[in-house]
Chain A
Amino acid sequence: MVIHDVVVVGAGLAGMRAAIEAARAGLNVAAVSKVHPVRSHSVAAQGGINAAIKEADSWEDHAFDTVKGSDYLGDQDAIEVLCREAPSDIMELERMGAVFSRDDAGRIAQRPFGGADYPRTCYLADRTGHGLVHLLYEQLIKHGVYLYDEWHVVSLVTHDNSVRGVIALELTTGKLHRLHSRAVIIATGGYGRVFNTSTNAITSTGDGMALALRAGAPLMDMEFVQFHPTTLKRTGILMTEGARGEGGYLINSAGERFMKAYAPSKLELASRDVVSRAEQKEIDAGRGVDGCVLLDMRHLGKDRIAERLPQIRDLAINFAGVDPVIAPVPIKPGAHYSMGGIMTDVDGKTPVEGLFAAGECACVSVHGANRLGGNSLLETIVFGRRAGKAAAGSCIKGRGLRDFPDPALADAASAIASILNRTEGESAHRLIAGAREAMEEHCWIFRTREGLEGGLKKIRKLRERYGRVALTDRSDCFNTELLTALEAGYILEISEAMLMGALARTESRGSHFRLDFPARNDKEWLRHTLVYREGKGCRMDYKDVRITRFTPAERKY
């Protein structure tokens, strides 16, 4: 057993930022991650990170855009924190060594992003996430954070609603380890891989949310999934919103910029849910090209594309066989971001004592029903920092090391042994494939009651079958099939929570669109959905949205 003051689960941007902050407070901090930090999903973020750093802009404007983008489901006190603290966090990143792209005067440049009334997105060419992940990895080393990489956390250990540590599986040896700690911060990222067509890394399987749910923490607003308007056809690989921010057009098979009909003023830069639905409607109405619409960047010219969007060009050439300098790129909507997550307050605290969460796995909620581009990298930094600080603070204020319950390790070991020892049963890959198919059929951009009910039935059946999951690979070294089996469990639990939330929410708001309830309904639904684990199933509850300065109004772009 190893002992640390704070254990951070996940080493993407949120996890690393949290770990650094806790280490700065002088504590002994460990980060446990199923992949090496620089392999985390955050590394793929392209477009940028928002902050009102220019005279002509203000954090209040940023907050308003965020609230409006969230379709008024975001908690306004949390959004205020996010936007007010953004500029100093950006400056701090620069001080750590980030090199944001510059304007001609040598100051940080900003580009326009969807749903924002001011060009307030800072960027590092089109590899912002990559730049920041490598930066924070450097800082992780500098601050002496212990790293357990390729350790897969399989359970959160709690007792009397208070966290005691985690149990993790070391991939190279197959051994289970106990990490005993005073506080735990979950930063395991999103659940984009609940779907097939997804921009997310293969590793984004919602692990931390499922683990928190099992440990008694509620998940919030799980029905809200952002569909990104521009993903490559076969692979779902993302073409950043920056491509439209830099001036790219969306056109249909007739060559029309169809967004004129859906968002006459913001056009291609309306908020993502609006653009994704517009695309899906064009495609469904037969104005698509082979199941896609087209992203046209040709008029930007080779030089601008080379300077501002070099990676996008490479991705389009390598993964879709199209050079955007010469031809428009076929794209379609794909699952992209998980607005829902572990319910926390503005310091990352969850209702389980000593347990914190930050980043995409958390729901503070700053994104409400729809996240604005550039706000989630910001969330990882601002709330990662705050969670790190709060977790450290709780230790400093006296949260000591409490007993690690004896049976925890044996329980985890027997759960894994039962999978490893089963000689015959269901294939983990098949179960995941089944879940993804069901989610894509029933819980996609347009939803209905019948569809969601059908989806729920399928997922519950799959969960039953999951009880008989069995493996071909029984080795203890680098057994990736075992990880897949564990992830299948997380995916199925998350899917159930999403479907329940989506079924209950009889309105359309932000990314959640019900064909049978196409209007927003503030009277009944200006509230968050909560899902708790109860026995093998789930129980639902609700929580009011916190409104401070912006009264809900209709959202027009």
Chain B
Amino acid sequence: MKVRFRIRRFDPLHQAEPYWQAYSVEVKEGMTVLEALLKISEDDDPTLSFRRSCRSAICGSCAMTINGFPRLACSTQVLPQYRKKGEMTVEPLSNHQVIKDLAVDMTPFWNRMEKVSPYLAPKEEPKDGWVIRKEDAAAIDSAQKCIMCGSCNAVCDSLEADPNFIGPAASVKAWRLVGDVREGMKKKRLERLSEGHGVWDCVRCVHCTEYCPKDVRPLEAIERLRAKAIEKKVVDNHGAKHTLALVDSVKRVGRLDEAAMTFKTLGFLRSLGMIPLGLKMEMHGKLPHLIIFPAIDGIKEVRKIYSAVERRKKKKE
């Protein structure tokens, strides 16, 4: 079947703007987008640039935006996509600078990776070698599946707003280390990860988990890092304080007590600075009850849940 591909092309050094170019490709059942691109570059237009290597979804070279979403070209079949959308559009990954056509600059990606000191800093090894139980290995198994394709960073809301954010991919690497029973610098890592632009800056849009082609679930890694940070008492930062305040607020009144939470997250002096914003929000009707926070009706039930969780935690320890 002949399938029309619209590919977004750009050579930033020589062209002012990106443009779309259409190609028609004879596609057979089972053919992947990567095969189609190879066919275009071999038979039709060798000037089309894109990365490729393993062609089996393991090297992470070929992530690009296909019909609007980040995907690996080598593991995306053309026909099912085409049938759904009626056409094939191929663009470079978003949130990344284009080098040429579909190849984007991955330098910021690697730099973020290096920022988390991505190598094990082991504790002293037991005399007769490490025993790693299956459960221990399982905790970091999904993090170990990451192929560093960059799809998650391409759709991350926080990263789009703050280029200094550590991002989902590097967070996965961080969890792979913090979650390792042999790691000796857990607390230090968690302290660094809890600083500004760190794991607390994720806004939990879930895009990373939704679009990761290897089911790595970066958001889960971020949540585990946050939980571990609190467990290790790395709480002298806004993110952890905010979470603790939230837990406390729900326990007390069964809902969010925004004013008290601001106070607990930012401390007294900084909270003063938030008053104008609070008043503005109040004026626009965004803060329903600024002053009085009655407990909700079912507060007893809520507290029961808390005690159950506490009991379970004790048992585990």
Docked Cα-Cα span, A170 to B164, in Å, equals: 28
Contact residues, B1-51 vs A (CB, 8 A): 11, 13-14, 30, 32, 41-43, 45-47, 49-51
Given A106-B134, A127-B145, A39 and B114 touching (CB < 8 A)? no
| Docked-complex contact B120 and A201, CB < 8 angstroms | no
B294 contacts A by Cβ under 8 Å: no
B249 contacts A by Cβ under 8 Å: no
Q: Which of the candidate stretches B53-61, B81-89, B237-245, B305-313 sits at the interface with the other chain?
A: B53-61
Q: Which residues of B contact A318 (CB under 8 A)?
A: 57, 75, 77
Q: Which residues of A contact B53 (CB under 8 A)?
A: 35, 39-41, 201-203
The secondary structure that dominates the B interface is loop
Q: Which residues of B contact A421 (CB under 8 A)?
A: none
Per-residue CB proximity of A414-447 to B under 8 Å, as 1/0?
0000000000000101000000000000000000
| Docked-complex contact B182 and A475, CB < 8 angstroms | no
Docked Cα-Cα span, A125 to B144, in Å, equals: 11
Per-residue CB proximity of A33-66 to B under 8 Å, as 1/0?
0011011110110000000000000000000000
Q: Which residues of B contact A319 (CB under 8 A)?
A: 30, 32, 56, 75
Docked Cα-Cα span, A107 to B134, in Å, equals: 9
| Docked-complex contact B99 and A429, CB < 8 angstroms | no
A105 contacts B by Cβ under 8 Å: yes
A28 contacts B by Cβ under 8 Å: no
A290 contacts B by Cβ under 8 Å: no
| Docked-complex contact B47 and A97, CB < 8 angstroms | no
Task: With both chains docked as a complex, state the minimum distance between the C-beta of A207 and any C-beta of chain B, in angstroms.
Answer: 14
Q: Which of the candidate stretches B123-131, B192-200, B228-236, B295-303 sits at the interface with the other chain?
A: B123-131
Q: Which residues of A contact B141 (CB under 8 A)?
A: 125
User: Which of A105, A235, A478 contacts B101 (CB under 8 A)?
Assistant: A478
Docked Cα-Cα span, A480 to B100, in Å, equals: 11
Docked Cα-Cα span, A484 to B52, in Å, equals: 12
User: Which of A36, A44, A106 contacts B106 (CB under 8 A)?
Assistant: A36
With both beta carbons as reference points, the residue of chain B lying nearest to A139 in the complex is identified as: B119
Given A35-B53, A478-B99, A429 and B42 touching (CB < 8 A)? yes
User: Which of B30, B50, B99, B101 contacts A172 (CB under 8 A)?
Assistant: B99
Q: Which residues of B contact A477 (CB under 8 A)?
A: 11, 13, 49, 99-100
Number of inter-chain CB pairs below 8 Å: 141
Docked Cα-Cα span, A96 to B118, in Å, equals: 12
B250 contacts A by Cβ under 8 Å: no
Query: Which of under 10, 10 to 19, 20 to 34, or 35 or more describes the interface residues of B?
Result: 35 or more
Docked Cα-Cα span, A471 to B46, in Å, equals: 8
B267 contacts A by Cβ under 8 Å: no
Q: Which residues of A contact B52 (CB under 8 A)?
A: 202
Q: Which residues of A contact B61 (CB under 8 A)?
A: 35, 39
| Docked-complex contact B137 and A475, CB < 8 angstroms | no
A25 contacts B by Cβ under 8 Å: no
Q: Which of A41, A130, A142 has the most CB of B within 10 A?
A: A130
Q: Which residues of B contact A429 (CB under 8 A)?
A: 41-43, 46
Q: Which of B122, B141, B144 has the most CB of A within 10 A?
A: B144
| Docked-complex contact B137 and A473, CB < 8 angstroms | no
With both beta carbons as reference points, the residue of chain A lying nearest to B125 in the complex is identified as: A95
Q: Which residues of B contact A127 (CB under 8 A)?
A: 58, 145
Given A97-B182, A106-B131, A319-B56, A142 and B46 touching (CB < 8 A)? no
Docked Cα-Cα span, A472 to B44, in Å, equals: 10
| Docked-complex contact B119 and A99, CB < 8 angstroms | no
| Docked-complex contact A201 and B55, CB < 8 angstroms | yes
Task: With both chains docked as a complex, state the minimum distance between the C-beta of A222 and any C-beta of chain B, in angstroms.
Answer: 24
| Docked-complex contact A138 and B47, CB < 8 angstroms | no
Docked Cα-Cα span, A125 to B134, in Å, equals: 12
Contact residues, B113-156 vs A (CB, 8 A): 114, 118-120, 122, 125, 129-134, 136-137, 140-141, 144-148
User: Which of A102, A138, A480 contacts B132 (CB under 8 A)?
Assistant: A102
User: Which of B41, B114, B137 contacts A102 (CB under 8 A)?
Assistant: B137
Docked Cα-Cα span, A484 to B38, in Å, equals: 12
Given A104-B134, A477-B13, A138 and B120 touching (CB < 8 A)? yes
| Docked-complex contact A43 and B59, CB < 8 angstroms | yes
Task: With both chains docked as a complex, state the minimum distance between the C-beta of B144 and any C-beta of chain A, in angstroms.
Answer: 6
Task: With both chains docked as a complex, state the minimum distance between the C-beta of B135 and any C-beta of chain A, in angstroms.
Answer: 10
| Docked-complex contact A44 and B59, CB < 8 angstroms | yes
Per-residue CB proximity of A104-143 to B under 8 Å, as 1/0?
1111000000000000000011010011001000110110
User: Which of B99, B118, B122, B133 contacts A141 (CB under 8 A)?
Assistant: B118
Given A141-B114, A480-B49, A481-B47, A39 and B59 touching (CB < 8 A)? yes
Per-residue CB proximity of A476-514 to B under 8 Å, as 1/0?
011111001000000000000000000000000000000
User: Which of A36, A105, A124, A473 contacts B46 (CB under 8 A)?
Assistant: A473
Docked Cα-Cα span, A38 to B144, in Å, equals: 13
Q: Which residues of A contact B147 (CB under 8 A)?
A: 38, 43, 130
Task: With both chains docked as a complex, state the minimum distance between the C-beta of A205 and any C-beta of chain B, in angstroms.
Answer: 11
With both beta carbons as reference points, the residue of chain B lying nearest to A472 in the complex is identified as: B46
A162 contacts B by Cβ under 8 Å: no
Q: List 11 A-B contacts (CB under 8 A).
A: A35-B61, A38-B148, A39-B59, A44-B59, A96-B119, A99-B140, A102-B132, A106-B136, A319-B30, A472-B45, A477-B11
Given known contacts A127-B58, A142-B119, what 13 new A-B pairs fall within 8 Å (CB)?
A35-B53, A35-B59, A39-B51, A39-B54, A41-B54, A99-B137, A134-B144, A138-B118, A172-B99, A237-B56, A478-B103, A480-B49, A481-B47
Chain A residues in contact with chain B, CB under 8 A? Answer: 35-36, 38-41, 43-44, 91, 94-97, 99, 101-102, 104-107, 124-125, 127, 130-131, 134, 138-139, 141-142, 172, 201-203, 234-235, 237-238, 311, 314-315, 318-321, 427, 429, 471-473, 475, 477-481, 484
The 5 tightest CB contacts between A and B, nearest first, are: A97-B120, A138-B119, A106-B131, A481-B46, A478-B100
